[in-house]
């Protein structure tokens, strides 16, 4: 049995090494995607054009405006003198976000009452809008802190902003986004890598010699999975390196733990591709299915953008079968918070089980179709 698995692993490696396209998929694609998405998310939300209508015109209100414009996330684009000018600026696209400070702002602060500022966000470009709101919340909160420090004896929560926001990144959102992005990219890549391995044998007719041989479906599936786990592991190193050196994510926790748990993740993701490969009728359908089956659920339900904790309960349960959901928890936990296995055993176990289920399902599928 071991000899057969080793032969299949060896054969896969020889084939991969003779396929120049693999080099592109394995090396160029992940780096390209990470840089593209990383910078797109990173840069787009800096220098958001801001319109300000300061009805108060006081020292306190000017400080609040300053906090926005100094942050490099917002650029002062329009200084408005009435509400109509604010609406016009937003409609004409001269500003994406508008800050309206009421005339009572400094007076409210001085009396220790709750001060309210109004924020209008152009929702037409929802990605920019939502990320801008995130930054906004951060700035208002840090301003909040400053203001409340100044008004400590008089107590209360002085500044309240009225924008509803559903994503709340830290000020440096890349720390939060890049680990998620790494998971999304690895997920797609892994599923793509294995999605054609079995279909290709079927299309080329080589499947017949395999099926008449004493190779068991499980041996074949494992033999096909292992080379790609090794390759995908190389990709883990690659994207983590780019994440640390290009996007400067701080690496608080154990590198070894990240690498070890990444292996579980890529094995589960590769397993999904393998399963697709045993079902798909041809290579095109296989690749398309692998991308569709992994991309949408991974982006929407992994916690990459939308926090899982704010999803309906049924959907929260569903996210458990999404490998990236567990991996993002692991990656953020280790990279940002320095978590260890003590905190992360549950998502790790999920990944292990998912991987084994995929392997078993692929083996079962393979046996039946021939």
Positions in the binding site for another protein (CB under 8 A): 3-4, 6-8, 10-11, 14-15, 18-19, 204-215, 370
Q: Is 98 helix (H, G, I), strand (E, B) or coil?
A: strand
Residues facing 79 on adjacent strands: 52
Q: Please say which residue, 214 or 312, places its beta carbon nearer to another protein.
A: 214
Query: CB of residue 25 vs another protein: minimum separation in angstroms?
Result: 16
Taking the CB of residue 233, how many other CB atoms lie within 10 A of it?
16
DSSP string covering 135-164: HHHHHHHHHHHHHHHHTGGG-S--EEE---
Q: Please say which residue, 8 or 33, places its beta carbon nearer to another protein.
A: 8
What's the rounded Cα separation, in Å, for the pair 137 and 40? 21
Q: Please say which residue, 107 or 215, places its beta carbon nearer to another protein.
A: 215
Alpha-helical regions (H) of 56-196 = 59-70, 83-91, 105-110, 126-150, 174-195
Q: Please say which residue, 46 or 200, places its beta carbon nearer to another protein.
A: 200
What length is written for the chain? Answer: 370
Residues 6+ apart with CB under 8 A from 221: 274, 359, 362, 363, 366
Q: Please say which residue, 207 or 269, places its beta carbon nearer to another protein.
A: 207
Query: CB of residue 204 vs another protein: minimum separation in angstroms?
Result: 7
What's the rounded Cα separation, in Å, for the pair 47 and 33? 23
Query: CB of residue 215 vs another protein: minimum separation in angstroms?
Result: 5
Query: CB of residue 364 vs another protein: minimum separation in angstroms?
Result: 16
Query: CB of residue 370 vs another protein: minimum separation in angstroms?
Result: 6
Query: CB of residue 222 vs another protein: minimum separation in angstroms?
Result: 13
What's the rounded Cα separation, in Å, for the pair 352 and 327? 11
Query: CB of residue 136 vs another protein: minimum separation in angstroms?
Result: 55
Q: Is the dihedral of CA 74, 78, 84, 90 positive or negative?
A: negative
Query: CB of residue 247 vs another protein: minimum separation in angstroms?
Result: 38
Taking the CB of residue 355, how many other CB atoms lie within 10 A of it?
23
Q: Please say which residue, 4 or 113, places its beta carbon nearer to another protein.
A: 4
Q: Please say which residue, 54 or 219, places its beta carbon nearer to another protein.
A: 219
Within the chain, strands assigned E span 48-54, 74-79, 97-101, 115-121, 159-161
Q: Please say which residue, 123 or 281, places its beta carbon nearer to another protein.
A: 281
**159, 144 Cβ separation under 8 angstroms:** yes
Query: CB of residue 194 vs another protein: minimum separation in angstroms?
Result: 18
What's the rounded Cα separation, in Å, for the pair 218 and 233? 22
Cβ burial, residue 168 (10 Å; 0-12/13-18/19+): middle
What's the rounded Cα separation, in Å, for the pair 331 and 180? 8
Q: Please say which residue, 7 or 296, places its beta carbon nearer to another protein.
A: 7
**182, 239 Cβ separation under 8 angstroms:** yes
């Amino acid at each position: 049995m071991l000899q057969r698995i080793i032969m299949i692993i060896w054969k896969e490696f020889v084939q991969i090494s003779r396929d120049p396209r693999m080099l592109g998929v394995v090396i160029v694609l992940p780096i390209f995607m990470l840089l593209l998405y990383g910078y797109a998310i990173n840069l787009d939300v800096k220098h958001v054009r801001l319109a300000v209508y300061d009805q108060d015109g006081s020292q306190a209100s000017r400080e609040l405006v300053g906090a926005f414009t100094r942050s490099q996330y917002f650029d002062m684009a329009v200084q408005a003198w009435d509400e109509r000018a604010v609406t016009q600026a937003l409609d004409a696209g001269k500003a994406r976000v508008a800050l309206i400070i009421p005339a009572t702002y400094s007076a409210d602060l001085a009396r220790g009452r709750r001060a309210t500022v109004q924020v209008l966000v152009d929702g037409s470009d929802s990605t920019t809008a939502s990320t801008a709101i995130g930054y906004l919340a951060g700035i208002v909160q840090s301003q909040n802190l400053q203001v409340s420090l100044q008004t400590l004896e008089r107590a209360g929560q002085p500044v309240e902003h009225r924008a509803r926001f559903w994503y709340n990144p830290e000020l440096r959102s890349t720390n939060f986004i890049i680990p998620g992005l790494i998971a999304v990219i690895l997920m797609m890549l892994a599923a793509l890598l294995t999605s054609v391995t079995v279909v290709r044998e079927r299309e080329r007719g080589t499947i017949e010699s395999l099926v008449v041989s004493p190779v068991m479906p499980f041996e074949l599936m494992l033999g096909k999975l292992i080379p790609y786990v090794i390759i995908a592991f190389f990709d883990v190193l690659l994207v983590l390196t780019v994440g640390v050196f290009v996007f400067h994510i701080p690496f608080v926790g154990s590198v070894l733990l990240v690498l070890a748990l990444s292996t579980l993740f890529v094995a589960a993701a590769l397993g999904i591709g393998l399963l697709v490969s045993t079902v798909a009728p041809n290579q095109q359908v296989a690749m398309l299915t692998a991308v569709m089956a992994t991309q949408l659920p991974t982006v929407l339900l992994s916690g990459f953008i939308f926090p899982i904790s704010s999803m309906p309960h049924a959907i929260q349960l569903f996210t458990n079968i999404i490998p990236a959901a567990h991996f993002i928890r692991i990656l953020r936990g280790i990279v940002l918070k320095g978590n260890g296995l003590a905190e992360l055993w549950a998502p790790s176990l999920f990944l292990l089980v998912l991987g084994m289920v995929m392997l078993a399902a692929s083996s079962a599928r393979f046996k039946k179709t021939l």
